[in-house]
Structure 1
């Protein structure tokens, strides 16, 4: 069974620094309290944690008087009481225990990781900083091509400094900013983001909690992000791009076949489809003289030798030269097909192609070249 946690998202808008005493968290969250507070029995989503610091005051019912908030008084017998400072008293004094007055705070890193996992984002940072707005990953549309997603939890008094959105605005193309609710970002700042092409969505509308305590999207991300995905696809069609083939996000090098049918022509196959490329189509043609780059020569050598070439050579200069060619080829192939993994990892003493490399259609004279005499 899925559960919405709307009170939690709205509470993040209400609390300065997303922190307050445990008693107020319980009051604001109601039946969602046990879902997110870390020391609650069977808490499924531990996002609110004790800071280990007791509060010195307790909030008052609204509207409060001049003596608000209620001051916490520790008595010699160990009892704790929240005392109204107004005269006459505007609200009742409260008897409390130590648990009530401990300050609990949102685990921002835990929240960011939970959202990134729920939305299946790629390239999530190894660590998250505490800036007001920060990137939590990318939603991939094609292999190696997607748009960034940013998160902000501004609280009840958001910063008026538009510079906090500089990293968002600096990213070309579509980008998405997430906030707890549609009201989290002040209207004038939201209008500025809209004018600069920043899409905004509320976590309250996107995510819900499953029985295992995991945040999950309310709809498939392909549906929720349909407009952004279409915008990115249009941008790739209308702009110069070094992407030779927009492959699905789950594409693997092992599904790619590269077959030389002529010295400067390859047929690339993927999941039953084949496309023809020359060096310029794969980013391997020199702009200076129009000839294939060394990376193309290395690709041909890999194909001739059945997908393996040695790492080390008799002369260190040759080893260094071939290493540079291998690195250039890996970079070009990643750019051409968007698959981020290394297409030519080192296995033992060889560079080994993860794709299927073939040069059987080339002239027989080429087939007899020495395994160690291939560099251009």
Structure 2
């Protein structure tokens, strides 16, 4: 008979996430071969072993080592289950390799890996950061618990100390009560059970069971601005790893530019880029300065007929405008090599 099981819930049924191979096989069923790459010997030998006698007691047996070549498992429950021999390899304790599992989840969910994943919460690691766009970074935690109260305690601690929305992963939904999930929802945070979304493929690899966009859709809806035009600055979906060198701005006319940043792009006017005068709706002097940079192909110095001492302050405000729109850190301009002008770190060109 097939013993097909979803392997994830087994991680919430093994105290200490350490057991002999026979117990892991029983917990994982047919999924054992795809999961065993995430198990590693912890250097310890077990003092007990699951009963493997056909129609036996089903209880744990005490491991008795007469010598390295004479090891037996003795029934401890008094039901008369027979003693059976063991090899040394049968009592090697295997533990879940959390670092390997965390890393595989980071890769599968396309997260930014944290350099230090440790927390002071039992069974809980901060495995990475979900950053769908530049300027948006949400911590992602993995917790493996044994009881609903333990999971509730972790959620209570995280919601009390993490002041931004976060994503909490767990092996299954079994321990997450409605109250716990509501507590997360109240903080615009998400609970994602791995058993419903991720499968094991072997060789320390995982695969998504449905598109990542679908898995994270409720979290994204709650925490990301929707693209809209309300007469002010619009949301530009800057890729999270973009730098100023990835930005390309080309003027189409005096009021409109075409923008490309890696895979993101579009056509925007000065109002949508946050450079409209609040009093009359006309372009600000920063927009005009941006156009001057385009006319000068990205370099503005005293040789330009648009040079002006007021440009220093205008450039500083323009830099702020561009950072607000693209959400890329750092100054988008640098001094020219001779120190007598400014050069854009992004590609900018005039209308053709």
- Equivalent residue, structure 2, for 1:218: 209
Report which structure shows greater RCO (CA 8 Å, sep ≥6): 1
- Equivalent residue, structure 1, for 2:113: 124
Structure 1, unaligned runs of 5 or more: 38-45, 286-290, 311-321, 362-376
Say whether residues 1:73 and 2:72 are aligned partners. no
Deviation at 1:74, TM superposition (A): 1.0
- Equivalents in 2 of 1:354, 1:158: separation in Å? 53
- Equivalent residue, structure 1, for 2:259: 269
- Equivalents in 2 of 1:200, 1:193: separation in Å? 7
- Aligned-pair Cα RMSD in Å: 4.7
Say whether residues 1:13 and 2:12 are aligned partners. yes
| Structure 1 residues 18 and 356: alpha-carbon distance in aligned structure 2, compared to 1, 3 A threshold | same
Structure 2, unaligned runs of 5 or more: 279-283, 302-311
Deviation at 1:332, TM superposition (A): 6.0
Deviation at 1:162, TM superposition (A): 2.9
- Equivalents in 1 of 2:33, 2:220: separation in Å? 36
- Equivalents in 2 of 1:332, 1:6: separation in Å? 54
Counterpart of 1:159 in 2: which secondary structure?
Answer: helix
| Structure 1 residues 352 and 128: alpha-carbon distance in aligned structure 2, compared to 1, 3 A threshold | farther
Deviation at 1:201, TM superposition (A): 2.2
* C-alpha contact 2:189 2:219 (8 A) present in aligned 1: no
Say whether residues 1:181 and 2:172 are aligned partners. yes
TM-score with structure 2 length normalisation? 0.69
2:219 is matched with which residue: 209, 220, 228?
Answer: 228
- Equivalents in 2 of 1:245, 1:234: separation in Å? 7
TM-score with structure 1 length normalisation? 0.65
Deviation at 1:23, TM superposition (A): 2.2
| Structure 1 residues 160 and 180: alpha-carbon distance in aligned structure 2, compared to 1, 3 A threshold | closer
Matches within 5 A, 1:89-238: 89=79, 91-121=81-111, 123-130=112-119, 131=121, 132-145=123-136, 147-156=138-147, 159=150, 162=153, 165-168=156-159, 170-173=162-165, 175-186=166-177, 188-210=179-201, 214-233=205-224
Counterpart of 2:110 in 1: which secondary structure?
Answer: coil
Deviation at 1:12, TM superposition (A): 0.2
* C-alpha contact 1:180 1:204 (8 A) present in aligned 2: yes
| Structure 1 residues 206 and 83: alpha-carbon distance in aligned structure 2, compared to 1, 3 A threshold | same
CA deviation map 1:321-344 (0-9, x unaligned): x9xx99997776444213569856
